[in-house]
Amino acid sequence: MSLFKRASGILLHPTSLPGPDGIGDLGPEAYRWVNFLAESGCSLWQILPLGPTGFGDSPYQCFSAFAGNPYLVSPALLLDEGLLTSEDLADRPEFPASRVDYGPVIQWKLTLLDRAYVRFKRSTSQKRKAAFEAFKEEQRAWLLDFSLFMAIKEAHGGASWDYWPEPLRKRDPEALNAFHRAHEVDVERHSFRQFLFFRQWQALRQYAHEKGVQIIGDVPIFVAYDSADVWSHPDLFYLDETGKPTVVAGVPPDYFSATGQLWGNPLYRWDYHRETGFAWWLERLKATFAMVDIVRLDHFRGFAGYWEVPYGMPTAEKGRWVPGPGIALFEAIRNALGGLPIIAEDLGEITPDVIELREQLGLPGMKIFQFAFASDADDPFLPHNYVQNCVAYTGTHDNDTAIGWYNSAPEKERDFVRRYLARSGEDIAWDMIRAVWSSVAMFAIAPLQDFLKLGPEARMNYPGRPAGNWGWRYEAFMLDDGLKNRIKEINYLYGRLPEHMKPPKVVKKWT
């Protein structure tokens, strides 16, 4: 039996929310966004990974698979709590409204978080101090390692952990204890940032639940090399005696890149994970489901088989397919955590073993409307070929916007789209939304950019491009009643309204 009911949602990462601090956060605009979703009849909010981002600002390359992104902490909520004052915010720089300029934003947000920490240490209530201590105890499985990792990184000018002094790099207990004693405030400061993030996120999630909105989170299959996870658990990964990866992750040449994508993440020693009963994965998913309601497993095909590239290769072309953990991992998950609401991101080069694994598990896959028009009527991404147990999208964060895609597509594909939709192409974004919404797919989701009819300037990510991604933000005026009512109308027309918004059924009487 499916864990899901027919519904719809919008893809929007919290960084894309409006607000005065240069980046979307978990404050007032996030609550307004949840209201907008609920009032438009959308019961799903899909986000990208929530972890702390580093070089390149990618949510898929985080310093931890367990921690939250401190840049998402809302200064407005800290002001309400008395952890900041209006004077603390008086020197706020002028930030662009439609893009995240990460350099100045990070500097500003960390300055505010440091001010909040100082005020917390000086004058906070015993109740809040007790809550912080309880948080540290609840998250002890990862929090101290993460906080140490970040403090050591700071003390070494932001250097990757493989460039630290050997005793710290290899986690010598005496060296770690000595560092902790000498930098106790720095370590605690990072734990405090996590405390703030988790409090704000859980309050927002609770509000979303009250409004009937579920959150679809995102779990990247791989973790970043320069992360607390790899540093604190090197035995889980293929590393050499110096701590460098021997092989790294990527994907072969595909729709997105002629030379493939060289992700560079270290690869798992799945044999070791199996010996431990997949303990680290169980902890990871347990932690994720404490934050979100449904999980999209990114690069699901990697659980059946993954592309292994020797470390040091300039592109991903010279790799090989290696079997993944397969059904054994998911049986361990099911035995430990029960049946979980998981979406399989089954895009890219999909082989029969991937389809078999997804079907064995009964997981919904993904259908991307933009991928449908390069062949013929049998293309599996065309809506008439969808099955009910799938999640349909106009596009994802890795695609151009609907308008950007259509305007740059070959004329042969554009012609196919117009004929398929029986439309002129003048309102292509909404024509595509309508096609996805009207399909049998259990969930229908589109990026907010498509509802707003925005072009390539609003694209979230260019796969393979190392910088200049993840910056788009909407402005508050864009979410008006006209848009809300138009979304509500298609949710009504295609049976995707939540139960409490559906009009009473009219029973026809035959005479």
**Mean pLDDT confidence for 115-132:** 94
8 A C-beta contact, residue 263 and residue 249 = yes
pLDDT attached to residue 256: 66
Closest CA to 460 of 201, 108, 98: 98
**Mean pLDDT confidence for 335-342:** 94
Order of strands, sheet of 7-11, starting from the edge strand that comes earlier in the sequence: 342-344, 294-297, 214-219, 44-46, 7-11, 443-447, 390-393, 365-368
Rounded to the nearest integer, the mean pLDDT of the chain is 96
Q: Is 37 exposed, middle or buried (CB count within 10 Å of its CB: 0-12, 13-18, 19+)? A: buried
Predicted TM-score (pTM) of the model is: 0.96
Q: Over 60: is that where the pLDDT of 397 sits?
A: yes
pLDDT grade, residue 463 (50/70/90)?
confident
Closest CA to 398 of 251, 268, 290, 292: 251
Cα–Cα–Cα angle for 483, 489, 491, rounded to 5 degrees: 105
Length of the chain: 511
Buried residues in 426-440 as b, exposed as e (16+ CB within 10 A): eebbbbbbbbbbbbe
**Marked catalytic residue, from 226, 345, 346, 431:** 345
Q: Over 60: is that where the pLDDT of 269 sits?
A: yes
pLDDT attached to residue 271: 98
**Marked catalytic residue, from 21, 145, 188, 298:** 298
- To which H or E segment does residue 250 belong? strand 247-251
Helices 279-289 & 327-337 angle (0-180, nearest 10): 60
8 A C-beta contact, residue 390 and residue 441 = yes
**Strands of 273-380, DSSP E:** 294-297, 305-310, 320-323, 342-344, 365-368
- Residue 121 has a CB neighbour count (10 Å cut-off) of 13
**Marked catalytic residue, from 331, 398, 413, 427:** 398
Long-range contacts from 330-338, C-beta under 8 angstroms, 24+ separation: 330/303, 330/357, 330/361, 332/277, 332/278, 332/281, 332/282, 333/278, 333/281, 333/282, 333/285, 336/282, 336/286, 337/282, 337/285, 337/286, 337/289
The 3-state DSSP class for residue 336 equals helix
pLDDT grade, residue 351 (50/70/90)?
very high
8 A C-beta contact, residue 12 and residue 33 = yes
pLDDT digits (tens, 9 = 90+) for 20-30: 999 999 999 99
Q: What separation in angstroms does the CA of 214 have from each of 34, 40, 346?
A: 10, 14, 22
8 A C-beta contact, residue 92 and residue 108 = yes
Helices 173-182 & 184-210 angle (0-180, nearest 10): 80
Active site residue 398: yes
Closest CA to 231 of 240, 222, 243: 243
pLDDT grade, residue 419 (50/70/90)?
very high
**Mean pLDDT confidence for 254-282:** 92
Q: Which amino acid is at 36?
A: F
Active site residue 184: no
Cα dihedral: 2, 270, 300, 13 (round 10): 100
Q: What separation in angstroms does the CA of 135 have from each of 132, 191, 196, 226, 323?
A: 5, 9, 10, 25, 38
Cα–Cα distance between 20 and 114 in angstroms, integer?
Answer: 19
pLDDT grade, residue 88 (50/70/90)?
very high
Active site residue 154: no
Identify any residues that bridge with 365 across adjacent strands, giving them in sequence order. Answer: 390
Cα–Cα distance between 127 and 120 in angstroms, integer?
Answer: 12
- To which H or E segment does residue 504 belong? none
pLDDT digits (tens, 9 = 90+) for 194-250: 999 999 999 999 999 999 999 999 999 999 999 999 999 999 999 999 999 999 999
pLDDT attached to residue 2: 57
